[in-house]
Structure 1
């Protein structure tokens, strides 16, 4: 009769999923929207209290009878964010988020200190990119010196939610690898990179202990009482949203490629060993399952389609209808959807562009299609890197809000020339957090509990949403994609001139 809960603290909202392992079904889903503080300098911030208030609101919507049956909770959180705490556990400043590009100069400073981006890859497996946690420390030291002077704990967003739930501070390897400080090969903090971030302070003393992916902790009695939960509830290690989405799409063994169409776009796959690109073309992360998770991240996905829909006065819910009469290639329109700068390729100062406009193709339908295609092409560009490294896949597991669009599913199948599978549960990160919680719960009584077996049993595919490439469309997208790449090359040249120098 026990239930497990997955919480996904994202950028746009907090989502709560309640899963019944016995009946293999989601019994409740609730969400709460979040605000975003956006600055002209590329800063993107949220108050951590907003996440907690949203979680409270989600639990308040949950039937008390269901709350009493909860046995374990797992937390997924947007990666890379910096939550600064003082010695008493109080938040010192708003959290700078994954999509914050205001710290590019600090990225360059850290990398230059150790000898450049390639030396960073040698030290930890990844360069220090805009959005990663490391540069946020240097930025805070410069721009919020009072908060930095009182800094006693460095937490990531999902760590902070765990801290609120349990009163304990910890970090797990998947989310920790997104700080820029963790050597993903050894799973140890890189002392040179910590020193390069602040040579005057031992930052390792501010980082919480690293725990295994199957670890769990008891909920705080005060929080259990407040939320109407049993005091016996276990809180699993949790992880970054991409790591949890990997679990939620069954991507816990080699051979599966997952794609998330959310605020950001991501491609990721499971690996049994570190897969590091010397050129830093992808993120060489650890997973939240005990393995590794090579990952491509683009910073603009549904951001682009939502921006266009808002500008033309319609809802993305009607997007498929709006673009019903358009064809692959958007009648020649090409969009570089870099509204938030870009991470893959590393162009944090880039901005969006719309090309090849004429009096015939400039319609809301074509512009909307160009936004969707641009977001998809950006992910295809990252996929090309994985293919060049020798990775191959037979299908794509699609999750995130964009996966609910039939047109987008078909576009992904055609642009990638691969079948698309869609898990029954659209909220892959929240479901993944719930399944990790189930794994941790089973580990308390069975040391041999296997996450791969849990994923096989509980991640179901919606056969009605399965989508296959259309040969005509596959052919039509090839020249359109090449045109996108030509504009991308121009953008690289343009915005590279504006980047702070590094190594």
Structure 2
């Protein structure tokens, strides 16, 4: 048996699988995000531990005999979070999350201090970990002075599991302190943030043994003291789950945030269009990503203000999409990364009329997210990465209408996998298998069977082409409103 733990933004998921990757048990526990000020996003690290304990204890109570055969544990989690610990490994403040935009000014300062783009492979953006630490240094200096270690969210959970400070390459690349080509911490980038290697955890690959399960927890759950794998950041883990481990393959994740992911066989930074260049969770492999910050979260926002569930809202669309809504929507509710690199970007509906109804707003919201993905396709191609097809994953991929819109707007052929779990918890379990066995073959990281292929509708694509140009023109036209919310 192998256990995968995924530390998501909205909850923790634990999945127990057998050696054939059949799901034996699944348990989940919710998490909440605190937004104490506009543009801020935080979580209490102890909440991750409480949620993990709840999920694993549920599996132990309901499937104790199966769990007793545990061989290894794998981890995945949301990236970029700044978890600051004191010398006793106690959190000094809430974790500053991936979608927190408070450190825009610090980004500008860091760009002047070191070659983050060349060494770290990315523009310094407010979502990354490094500018968050400079913000803490400038705004909470006493906390910064007490900081002994900085961990990413899943690595704080690992510390609880094993007592070890450890980070793997795919997640570490998202801190902006990693020399991404050399796959090691960069002294120059750390120094620019007032840190040293002493503040960093040990580094390894996704299937490396990152520590052994603490005896106390092993006894509590009735399992052996098994190895805990390095794991992967959520996007790299998802790629492994889809068998996206070699160049020429990619995936489109329509989750809380949105990701267009493509594998490369070398470090290939291109910051002009705010493309991310990171290490993959697989050794000697890298990847590029276009990232948007409000994908299904845009529909969640509309759900919250309309009082209708996201599923109810999606049900307001006709079975077949025939034409654009005629309304523009900029999905920059939490700022934006690719291609604008603007944490102060704000969302907008455009072209509203008295006759506009909720179904129109739902369709426009889905179209706006698709337009943002079209920006990502354009950015990756300008970075030298050709991508024509991608696996479609994430909660939003359950809507066939959204995928039809997405294909028509982006020009991508979208491959919808057959029913099955290809999420980060499942892949964390697969990385646990590789940790225990050393097997990186396609038997472990197999490509999923495709249930449906959504090819762009040529006529619909023509109709959306003009809509997309309007979308692109709207962002600079509304520049005066950015950051006013």
Instruction: Report TM bin, short chain.
Output: over 0.9
Deviation at 1:30, TM superposition (A): 2.2
Matching residue of 1:48: 45
Does 2:362 align with 1:349?
Answer: no
SS at match of 2:175: coil
* Cα deviation, residue 375, structure 1: 1.2
Worse-matched range after superposition: 289-298 or 387-396: 387-396
State the Cα distance separating 1:325 from its structure 2 match.
7.0
Q: Deviations over 1:424-463 (max 9, x none)?
A: 33452222211111111112xxxxx22444212xx43351
Secondary structure of the 2:444 match is helix
| TM-fit CA distance, 1:394 | 4.1
Q: 1:223 to 1:76 in 2, by over 3 A?
A: same
User: Which of 445, 454, 474 is the aligned partner of 1:487?
Assistant: 474
Distance in structure 1 (CA, Å) of the matches to 2:37 and 2:324: 30
Which of 186, 192, 215 lines up with 2:188 in the alignment?
192
What is the number of residues matched between the two proteins?
A: 477
1:274 — aligned with what?
267
Aligned to 2:244: 251
CA-to-aligned-CA distance 1:189-238 (integer Å, 9 cap, x gap): 2222222212xxx4221101111232113211112223x14223221101
- Give the conservation status (yes or no) of the 8 Å contact 2:324–2:464: no
Residues 113-164 of structure 1 show CA distances to partners (whole Å, capped at 9, x for unaligned) of 23xxxx4312322121111000111111223223222211110011111111
Q: Are 2:92 and 1:92 aligned?
A: yes
Q: Which residue is 1:430 aligned to?
A: 425
Q: How does 1:63-78 map to 2 (within 5 A)?
A: 63-78=63-78
**Equivalent-residue separation in structure 2 for 1:468 and 1:27 (angstroms):** 35
Which residue in 1 is equivalent to 2:407? 413
1:113 matched to 2:113? The reply is yes
1:20–1:26 CA contact under 8 A, matched in 2: yes
Deviation string 1:268-319 (CA, Å, 9 cap, x unpaired) is: 1111101110425201111111210111111111110111122222111223
Instruction: Name which of 305, 309, 314 aligns with 2:303.
Output: 309
What is the CA-CA distance between 1:95 and the residue it aligns to? 0.4
Match of 1:139 in 2: 135
CA-atom RMSD in angstroms: 2.0
**Is structure 2 residue 119 aligned with structure 1 residue 129?**
no
Which stretch of the first structure deviates more once superposed, 313-322 or 156-165? 313-322
Name the CA distance, whole Å, in 2 between partners of 1:274 and 1:113: 22
Q: Is the 8 A contact 1:73 1:234 kept in 2?
A: yes
Preserved CA contact (<8 Å) 2:373 2:410: no
- The answer (yes or no) to whether the contact 2:290–2:379 under 8 Å persists in 1 is no
Partner of 2:178: 182
Q: CA deviation at 1:357?
A: 0.9
DSSP-derived class of the 1:244 partner: helix
Query: Normalising to structure 1: TM-score of the pair?
Result: 0.90
Unaligned runs of 5+ in 2: none
Match of 2:19 in 1: 21
Q: Report whether the alignment pairs 1:454 with 2:444.
A: yes
Shift in Å, 1:41: 3.7
User: Structure 1 stretches (4+) deviating beyond 4 angstroms?
Assistant: 325-330, 495-498
Select the residue among 450, 462, 472 that pairs with 1:475. Answer: 462
Question: Is the 8 Å Cα contact of residues 211 and 237 (structure 1) preserved in structure 2?
Answer: yes
* Cα contact 1:436–1:451 (8 A) shared by 2: no
Given that residues 328 and 476 in structure 1 are in contact (C-alpha distance below 8 angstroms), is that contact kept between their aligned partners in structure 2? no
1:260 is the counterpart of 2:253: yes
Partner SS for 1:32 = strand
Contact 2:17 2:429 in 1 (8 A): yes
Q: Is the Cα–Cα contact under 8 Å of residues 401 and 426 in structure 1 kept in the other structure? A: no
Q: Which residue of 2 aligns with 1:359?
A: 354
Residue 32 of structure 1 is aligned with which of 21, 29, 34? 29
